[in-house]
Amino acid sequence: DLGSGIIVIPFLSLLEAVAIAKTFTKGEKLHATREMIALGMGNLVGSFVSSYPVTGSFSRSVINNTSGVRTPLGGVVSGSFVLLALCVIAPLFHYIPKSCLSAIIFSAVIFMIHFEDIPEMWKGNKVELIPFFTTFLLSFIFGLEYGLLFGIAVALGILLRKQNEVDISVTTKKV
């Protein structure tokens, strides 16, 4: 039973792909809409052959970036190493403590968190901090799925509130 995962998994894959693209664009303009369309088309085509969902990979992207990979062939090579690791080394991962594996993942993605954005949000529009902290805190308390769902709901609520604010100005002319 997937439960809330049915809603959260597509959002996570889109967020992950856009976050990877934003991290590694190196000054180029990012077209997030194109990323989402490409993921959607990949998943649509993959659904006809029972493939796993198409998404990005933080760890492989970090390894490819730090290794200086510049061509799509690097993805094929790193994917081959992943398959080899799954077939040969995966049984040995059972003996590695989960805290060590989480430390590896944490060290791979810590540079993607931009702590300098928080004071900028504080100086600018403080309302933008509400979805940020809601998602952050509820992800720790209830888990990532529910934290993201509540964060998205709060962000949509704030957006709808802003859209419904009416700014009326009355001007009069003497005739």
Going through 58-128 in order, the beta strands assigned E by DSSP cover none
CA dihedral 98, 100, 104, 106 (to 10 degrees): 70
Is there a contact between 147 and 12 (Cβ–Cβ < 8 Å)? no
Q: What is the pTM of this model?
A: 0.54
pLDDT of residue 154: 94
d(CA 60, CA 98): 19
Going residue by residue through the chain, which has 175 residues, state the pLDDT in tens, using 9 for 90 and above.
566 667 777 777 888 888 888 777 777 788 888 888 888 898 899 989 988 888 877 777 877 888 888 888 888 888 888 888 888 888 888 888 888 888 887 887 777 677 788 888 888 888 888 888 899 899 889 887 888 889 989 999 999 988 888 777 778 888 7
Using CB atoms within 10 Å of the CB of residue 135, give its burial: 0 to 12 exposed, 13 to 18 middle, 19+ buried.
buried
Q: Where are the domains of the chain?
A: 1-56, 113-164
Instruction: Name the DSSP letter for residue 87.
Output: I
